[in-house]
Amino acid sequence: MATLKDIGAELGLSVATVSRALNGFPEVNIKTRDKVREAAERLGYRPNRVAQRLVTGRSGMVGMIIKIRADMSADQTFFEMLTGLTAALAARDVDLVLAVDQDDDPVLPYRKLMERDILDGFILNAPVPDDPRVVFLQEKRIPFVMHGQTGPDADYACYGIDNAGVSEDAVKLLTSLGHKRIALLNGQSRYAYAVDRRSGFLNAMTAQGLNVPQAFLCSDAETEMQGYTHALAMLSGQNGPRPTAFICASTLIAAGVMQAAKDRGLQVPGDVSVIAHDDALPLMRAVNFEPALTVTRAPLRDACVPLANLLIDHVAGAPAEQKMDRAELIVRASTGPVPNEETDPWP
């Protein structure tokens, strides 16, 4: 393995100059710089990360701790994040170390990893209200970034989409189509995103002068089966009027809803409109739905770049930054005008 010294010897330059040239320091003579780069290329030089890390005092590694749930519906999400984060971090020469949380105490795995003293910071996900991990890491002054929006008052680095906005966009689209009886099939209420989606939904409905019966709200695991079960119950009409539209927390839930509509003999979007939030997971493409699914779209993988950059910059000393993006509304074929009550098979 070629080192700076080898290049220096080759060119009759000091390692200092070689280092500066390779790192693009402006004071280096441009001809020198080019000579150095050419030699580095030719000798197959690659910087020794460990040496760089020793001198900069950073390990170049960040950690992520994943919680294993019996609910395996999170897996696609996990692999998608893993793929994206690995790439986004690698682009800045940072490696990701994973650990599995097997404990009841949510803070313990973070403590254990820090004791090994090899990490510069952490990436957290699935924030909950008053997240104990946040309290712990802030107290220990350990850099981290949170995936997910925990409110504008967050005093730590975080990136996420505007989840209240997701619900607002869906409600606006549906009400513009005349829908009044709109159901929300939400994610589990212990997660911040589900809380935000719910409040965004209720606020938007209220703003339209619409009232939401309790029976139109549910929070559950994001599986196809849950979507199916809840939609089937709501569409039975046994607990009062049926919804004419569903806002689904995920495309997986939407798949269940569409099956339920079918099993009830209802057309989408003729009788029932369906809109879902789309994390753009490769195995569940909204365009391939029949009919193609209207979505609020925010590819999970896209979140990885800001997450990686926020964390790396923060580790390097930049202040903790909060960043939020708005999901994109993509209208496809699963949403349509509210059905005419006269042609409604279950008036």
Partner DNA sequence: CTGAAAGCGCTTACAG
Q: Which residues bind DNA (CB under 7 A)?
A: 1, 3-5, 12-17, 19-23, 27-30, 32, 45, 47-48, 51-52, 54-57
Q: Which does 17 bind (CB under 5 to 8 A by kind): DNA, a copy of itself, none?
A: DNA
Q: Which does 5 bind (CB under 5 to 8 A by kind): DNA, a copy of itself, none?
A: DNA
Provide, rounded to whole angstroms, the least separation between the CB of residue 94 and DNA: 15
DSSP letter assigned to residue 92:
T
Q: Which does 223 bind (CB under 5 to 8 A by kind): a copy of itself, DNA, none?
A: none
* Choice between 26 and 319, CB closer to DNA: 26
* Choice between 9 and 68, CB closer to a copy of itself: 68
- Secondary structure (3-state) at 79: helix
| 234-238 long-range Cβ contacts below 8 angstroms, 24+ apart | 234/183, 235/260, 235/261, 235/264, 235/266, 235/272, 236/264, 237/346
* Choice between 56 and 176, CB closer to DNA: 56
- Contacts with a copy of itself, residue ranges (CB under 8 A): 1, 46, 48-51, 53-54, 59, 61, 68, 70, 72, 75-76, 79, 82-83, 86, 90, 93, 95-100, 102, 115-118, 283
Provide, rounded to whole angstroms, the least separation between the CB of residue 11 and DNA: 8
* Choice between 31 and 141, CB closer to DNA: 31
* Distance between start and end Cα atoms, the chain: 77
Provide, rounded to whole angstroms, the least separation between the CB of residue 59 and a copy of itself: 6
Q: Is 123 left (phi over 0), alpha (psi -120 to 50) or beta?
A: beta
* Choice between 255 and 274, CB closer to a copy of itself: 255
User: Token match 């770049």: residue?
Assistant: 305
Distances (CA, A) of 289 to 79, 170, 252: 22, 18, 11
Q: Which does 14 bind (CB under 5 to 8 A by kind): DNA, a copy of itself, none?
A: DNA
Where do runs of H (alpha helix) occur along the chain? 4-11, 15-22, 30-43, 49-56, 75-90, 108-115, 132-139, 163-176, 192-207, 224-236, 251-263, 304-315
